[in-house]
Amino acid sequence: MMAALSDQLLVYAILAYTLAMLAYAVEYSFGTRSVVGRVATRELVGAGGPLLPDATDEIDGDPDSDAPAQPPAGLADPRGLPVGLVGPPAGLVGSTDVAGSVGLGSSVGLGGSVGLGSSVGLGGSVGLGGSGGLGENARLAALAGRAALALTALGWLVHLGCLVTRGLAAHRVPWGNMYEFVLAVCLVGATAWLVLLARRPHLRPLGLFVTLVLVLLLGIDGMLLYTKVVPLVPALNSYWLKIHVTAAVTASGIFLVGFVAAALTLIRTGYDEGKVRFPYSLGARVPAADGLERTTFRIHAFAFPIWTFAVICGAIWAEAAWGRYWGWDPKETWSFIAWVIYAGYLHARATPSVKRTVATWIAVLGWAAMMVNLFGVNLVIAGLHSYAGVK
């Protein structure tokens, strides 16, 4: 019964994430960049952020920017564009990074900045014709943004319920096969996204892409990888399952959000460089590349030690189960490849002579290796880690 409930909940979770994605898309299409950022902030200030209560400490200063928490003082950044990010203008504090830390504060009203938006203009990338039309769109965008937040949170709750009931049905941790693994990775991804959103409300435009990845992965999971609840095979029957796989799930889920941030950093950077074709055209509403790039780095820097821990635990478990801590089994090989690529990313990011764009590409490559490790190794290459259970 619990198993059937879990299956039901997965459908509802995918549905909620899909609706959230649509809402994000509406906000993305109708909101100007400033509206998106400002509304996200305003909601947190005005309503006390019921969904994300611990976010208020971040309002006054974008923690990414090396800038002191000060009341917002400037409306336009040096390029003359009202970029709706939270944080003081860069010029005042002599911060080395400019774009990410410029923006509007919470005290600036919606109407006022709409007027600003229409007077300064946004490079013509969004239809900022008349003030009235914009106001209409802005209201729609604001509504959609709120709905997207609520739907993501709802989807997360249902998703959590799906995993919990699955665990109750199986009488064990619900990550004993590939279906459950992907389910858990996506839950961590959604969690990481909500936490990130709480700390960086201005990143909400990323929600469209995060939910897109979640819906795709969960859809593939439910349709192609679905496995009935069964007990563990003897090889998995170890407390290391709880440690090793939990760490792998956590790292993968956080890398998922890191990948979205990395991909959008590249899109935004390309857009800033004047590339207009898809996917760079998406860059218009993406938060400024500089801050996004720093967020990308911090997500990866957070997930990388967890991934390292997962690989080490895997080695310790392999010693107990197979007699050797490392044997170049395909899963081990691809975990190693992903580890090396992510290590390369962190090193490239710390090397001033390597361009940030190049470094960010390496992060995207890391996620590609993670995907090969998940799908390629489980479904195509046979090895000792053949626990997918997919017929």
Partner 1 sequence: MSEPTLSEAPLSEALLSTVDERAVAAGVPPERPSGIGPGAGLVALARRSWRWLTSMRTALLLLFLLAVAAIPGSLLPQRNLNMDKVRDYYVAHPKIAPILDRIGGFEVFASPWFSAIYLLLFLSLVGCLVPRLRAHAVALVRVPPEAPSRLDRLPAHADGLAAQGDPAQVAARLRAALRKRRFRTVVRPAPGGGFTVSAEKGYLKETGNLLFHFALLALLIGVAFGSWYGYKADRVVVQGADEGFCNTLQQYDDYGLGARVSPGDLEPFCLTLNDFQARFLDTGQPADYRASISYTVGDSPAKSTVIKVNDPLRLDRARVYLVGHGYAPVLRYTDRYGHAQTIVAPFLYLDNNKTSSGVVAFPDANVDPVKGRDPNNKQQVAFSGVYVPTSDGTHAVSVFPAERNPILVITPYRGDLGLDAGIPSSVYTLDQHQIDTGRLRAVSSPLRLRPGDSARLDDGTTVEFLGTRPWTALTVRYDPGETVVLVGAICLLIGLLTSLTGRRRRVWFRVPSVESGAAGPVSAGALARSEYPGFHAEFDELVKEVR
Q: Which is nearer to partner 1, 237 or 281 (CB)?
A: 237
Cα 175 to Cα 45, 182, 317, 326, 379, distances in angstroms: 38, 8, 16, 22, 17
Q: Which is nearer to partner 1, 143 or 236 (CB)?
A: 236
Length reported for the chain: 391
Asked if 160 contacts 189 with a C-beta cutoff of 8 angstroms, the reply is no
Q: Which of 181, 297, 367, 387 binds partner 1 (CB under 8 A)?
A: 297
Indicate left, alpha or beta for 130 from its phi (over 0: left) and psi (-120 to 50: alpha): beta
Asked if 83 contacts 99 with a C-beta cutoff of 8 angstroms, the reply is yes
DSSP state of 288: P
DSSP-based three-state secondary structure for 246 = helix
The whole-angstrom distance between residue 33's C-alpha and the CA centroid of its chain comes to: 19
Stretch that binds partner 1, among 145-153, 183-191, 266-274, 322-330 (CB under 8 A): 322-330
Stretch that binds partner 1, among 18-26, 30-38, 168-176, 311-319 (CB under 8 A): 311-319
Stretch that binds partner 1, among 90-98, 148-156, 263-271, 280-288 (CB under 8 A): 90-98
Residues 183-242 that bind partner 1 (CB under 8 A): 230-231, 233-235, 237-238, 240
Q: Which is nearer to partner 1, 45 or 343 (CB)?
A: 343
Stretch that binds partner 1, among 43-51, 245-253, 266-274, 300-308 (CB under 8 A): 300-308
315 counts as binding partner 1 under rule CB under 8 A: yes
355 counts as binding partner 1 under rule CB under 8 A: no
Asked if 295 contacts 259 with a C-beta cutoff of 8 angstroms, the reply is no
CB of 302 to partner 1, least distance (A): 8
98 counts as binding partner 1 under rule CB under 8 A: no
CB of 369 to partner 1, least distance (A): 7
CB of 216 to partner 1, least distance (A): 24
57 counts as binding partner 1 under rule CB under 8 A: no
361 counts as binding partner 1 under rule CB under 8 A: no
Q: Which of 4, 11, 47, 69 binds partner 1 (CB under 8 A)?
A: 69
- Nearest Cα to Cα of residue 24 among 171, 149, 157: 149
Q: Which of 110, 195, 212, 301 binds partner 1 (CB under 8 A)?
A: 301
Distance between CA atoms of 363 and 255, rounded to whole angstroms? Answer: 9
Residues 6+ apart with CB under 8 A from 176: 170, 232, 236, 241, 387
Helical H runs in 94-244? 110-120, 131-170, 178-199, 207-224, 239-240
CB of 70 to partner 1, least distance (A): 10
Indicate left, alpha or beta for 246 from its phi (over 0: left) and psi (-120 to 50: alpha): alpha
Cα 134 to Cα 76, 147, 162, 219, distances in angstroms: 19, 19, 40, 36
Structure tokens at 79: 């390029």
Q: Which of 287, 330, 360, 388 binds partner 1 (CB under 8 A)?
A: 330
Stretch that binds partner 1, among 35-43, 137-145, 184-192, 332-340 (CB under 8 A): 332-340
CB of 315 to partner 1, least distance (A): 7
Q: Which is nearer to partner 1, 43 or 290 (CB)?
A: 290
User: Which residues here bind partner 1, judged by CB under 8 A?
Assistant: 63-64, 66-69, 93-96, 230-231, 233-235, 237-238, 240, 294, 297, 301, 304-305, 308-309, 312, 315-317, 319-330, 333-334, 336-337, 340-341, 343-344, 346-354, 369, 377, 381, 383
